[in-house]
Amino acid sequence: MGKDYYNILGIAKGATKDDIKKAFRKLAHQYHPDKQGGNEAKFKEINEAYQVLSDDTKRATYDTYGSNFNGGDQGQGGFGGFDFSGFQQANGGTQGFNGMEFDLGDIFGDFFGGAQRGRIKRGRDISMDLEIPFAESIFGTERKVLISKTMTCPECLGKGGKPGTKMKKCDPCNGQGKVHDAKKTMFGTFSTVRECSSCLGKGEVPTEKCGKCYGAGAMKGQEEIKIVIPAGISNGEVIRMSTKGEAMPGGVSGDLYIKIHCTPHSFIKREGVNLVMDLGIKLTDALLGSEYPIETLDGKISVKIPEGVTHGEILRVRGKGVPIDKTRRGDFLIKLNINLPKKLSKKAQKLFEELKGEGI
């Protein structure tokens, strides 16, 4: 059974050439095999219908013989079943099937970069390393750093013109903001579109350029940036500061990424929201109890050692750990290590012999 080409393209029998072309473009976008959800068989069928209905002679024959027409099974080669043989350069532009004007970028823009034309330009991101003391990583701090980068011109504020100057139409692109270039490929010569480098896509330029950045809108310079380091930040954590990277004329600035390195403390370590330290105590203090002065990040405190503690036992000082939020903090944990004497005096040895006799 023959194929209904009008039905394949979803158009009426009296459709105009423009209607046929629009229907083909829409369906080619939808079913191209290189796109997600594409259908190669359907794409070939759409291509076949277009080749017949876009040609006046073939269309007239098809309208006469209807479904018995078999002239569409030709020229299905090339890219995914698409026939590029009909493309040729004419009048400085691109011609499509049988001399019809045809913009290949409309259909295959996603594969040849056309989808990027409307993307907002963005400056380069900057990354840096910052070392802070252990205590500042717990309680938070601020740092001011001087960064060399491409920055928005402070004179013209990125406009490229002398303050107060008028704007005029850009000559290279004739005010369009983009220019056309001819590009030769294996399929022939195609016309590509790129942003005008003179006006950066704006279509207009200042009558008098800025004397500081010479019309670029951006320049190399140094900027002092204040970095707010939150309380409880972890070693290796990264802070992102939006738009503090390099500037981009006609676009948005990149971001600044700061990787934090915390200098280790001499005896305090971090375990989640808690701070931990080891404390060596004498055997007699472990047996009889005592008090020890402790240096915390909040200052000195006195810790009571209960009698009869064991080696490795942990004492907890609440609320002296890592800040969790504005009102809560983790705990300060003290791990007890009982120091056993390596050598005993005669008097101590005699006393321990007596304790041994008591079953201790």
**More confident: 285 or 180:** 285
Closest CA to 256 of 139, 160, 154, 146: 146
More confident site: 13 or 64: 13
pTM (two decimals): 0.59
How far, in Å, CA of 127 to CA of 109, rounded?
Answer: 33
Q: Which two tokens stand for residue 327?
A: 């009102």
Where does the chain hold its CATH 1.10.287.110 domain(s)? Answer: 5-116
May I ask the CATH class of domain 120-163+211-264?
mainly beta
Q: For residue range 296-339, what is the model confidence (pLDDT) as tens digits?
A: 999 999 999 999 999 999 999 999 999 999 899 999 999 999 99
Amino acid, res. 273: V
Counting Cβ atoms within 10 Å, is residue 68 exposed (0-12), middle (13-18) or buried (19+)? exposed
- Specify the CATH number of the domain 269-357: 2.60.260.20
User: Range with the lowest mean pLDDT among 59-73, 145-159, 172-186, 258-272?
Assistant: 59-73
Collect all residues with Cβ–Cβ distance below 8 Å to 206 and sequence separation of at least 6: 159, 160, 161, 162, 165, 166, 167, 168, 215
pLDDT at 195: 82
Residue 309 is predicted with a pLDDT of 94
pLDDT, mean of residues 12-28: 87
Tokens of 182: 């001819």
The percent helix, strand, coil of the chain (3-state, each to 5) is 25, 30, 45
Percent of the chain with pLDDT over 70: 82
Write out the residue limits of the CATH 2.60.260.20 domain(s) in the chain.
120-163+211-264, 269-357
Mean pLDDT calculated for residue range 345-352: 84
- For residue 270, give the 3-state DSSP assignment: strand
- The domain made up of 5-116 has a fold known as Helix Hairpins (1.10.287)
**What confidence tens digit (pLDDT) does each residue in 101-143 have?**
444 444 454 444 444 445 678 899 999 999 999 999 999 999 9
pLDDT of residue 360: 66
